[in-house]
Structure formats: C-alpha cells, structure tokens
Amino acid sequence: MDSDMRIWEHPVLGKYEKYEEPKVLHFTLDGKDMTGYEGDSVAAALKAAGVMTHRYTAKNHRPRGIFCAIGRCTDCVMIVNGQPNVRTCITPLEEGMELRTQYGVQTKEEWEAENDEEI
C-alpha cells in the first residue's frame, strides 16, 4: 500500500490533510482489488498505485491517461460504476467504486463482443 508515489511530507505544504489520519478506501480496477485513501481523486489513487493507462481510444486504440488533471481535457475518462466517460481527475474516490478501463466508450468485453475481435 505504501506507495513511493505518495508525497507523505512536503517541504512547503507539510503533511497533507488526508495523510494525517489516512482512511483506506477499497475499489476495483477491472475486477482487481485496489486501495487508495479518502481525499484521493480516482486519478490520483490510480497514479499512486502505478496505473498509468485509463483508457484506449475508439479509433486507434491508443492508450491514454492523465493529461490536464483539472477536468478540461477529458483524456483520463474511465467507466466508473458502470458509467463511461467519467473524468477521473475530478471524481473523488469512494469506497467500493468499480473502475473499468474504457475501450472507446465501452468495457473491453463489450467492445470485443460488438466488434467481434480481441484486443
């Protein structure tokens, strides 16, 4: 859990509020169990867990991840609790969240079923 991507203490900001008494949140990514902290955005929790690819594009299946981190570029979208195109950088992580890597606007299984080919 203790990820080396976390900044436990910052020379200017000190200790972040969410790390004072960190509350662990459980979520799944494509069915795999993962954890983050309360106060994380979905994108930050994934970044801390070492996940960089949030989705694959519809046309060319190019991997995409965090790009603007403030909800403008819409590159970091994923399927969150069944809803596609959710901007993960501005969506707070919640206990029990189900995240799916987004293929076009679908899950991998949906995409493969519809296009009759494997990714």
Partner 1 sequence: MSKIIRKAPTEPFKPQPDDDLIICRCEEITKGEIRRAVHDGLRTVNEIKRWTRAGMGLCQGQTCQRNVQNIIARELGISVADVGMITGRAPVRPVVMEVYANDVVDKEEQR
Partner 2 sequence: MKRYEVIVIGAGPAGLSAAAEAAKKGMKVAVFDENAGPGGQLFKQIHKFFGSRANNARMRGFKIGRKLLKEAEENGVEVFLNAVVTGIFEEKEVMVRIDDTVHHYKADYIVIATGAAENMVPFKGWDKPGVMGAGASQALMHLQGVRPGRKVLVVGSGNVGLIVAFQICQVGCDLVAVLDAAPRVGGYGVHASKITRTGVPFLTSHTIIEAKGDDHVESAVIAEVDDHFTPIPGTEKEIEVDTVLLAVGLTPMNQLASNAGCRVEYQEQNGRLSPVTIVDEYGETTMSGIYCCGDSAKETAEGASSAMLQGKIAAEHIAADAGYTTEADAEEKAEEYRKTLDQLSGGMFDVKNKGRMDISTTEEGYPISQSLLRHGYITAEELKGFPAASYEADGPHPVIECTQNIPCNPCRDVCPAGLIHVAEDITRIPEIDYSQKCTNCGMCVTNCPGQAIFIVDNDYEPGYATVSLPYEFLPYPEKGDKGKALDRSGTPVCDAEIVSVRTARAMDNTAFLTMKVPAEFADTARFFRKG
Of 63, 71, 84, the C-alpha closest to 41 is 71
Q: Please, are residues 102 and 55 in contact by the beta-carbon 8 Å criterion?
A: yes
CB atoms within 10 A of CB 38: 14
Q: Is 44 in the site for partner 2 (CB under 8 A)?
A: yes
Q: Is 88 in the site for partner 2 (CB under 8 A)?
A: no
Integer Cα distance of 6 and 93 in angstroms = 16
**Piece in contact with partner 2 (CB under 8 A), picked from 25-33, 68-76, 77-85, 107-115:** 68-76
Q: Which is nearer to partner 1, 60 or 82 (CB)?
A: 60
Identify the residue among 45, 46, 48, 77 touching partner 1 (CB under 8 A).
77
Of 1, 9, 18, the C-alpha closest to 92 is 18
Q: Is 85 in the site for partner 1 (CB under 8 A)?
A: yes
Residues in a beta bridge with 14: 10
Instruction: Give contact residues for partner 2 (rule: CB under 8 A).
Output: 4-14, 16, 18-19, 40-41, 43-44, 47-48, 52-54, 62-73, 75, 89-90, 92
Instruction: Give contact residues for partner 1 (rule: CB under 8 A).
Output: 57-60, 62, 64, 67-68, 72-75, 77, 85
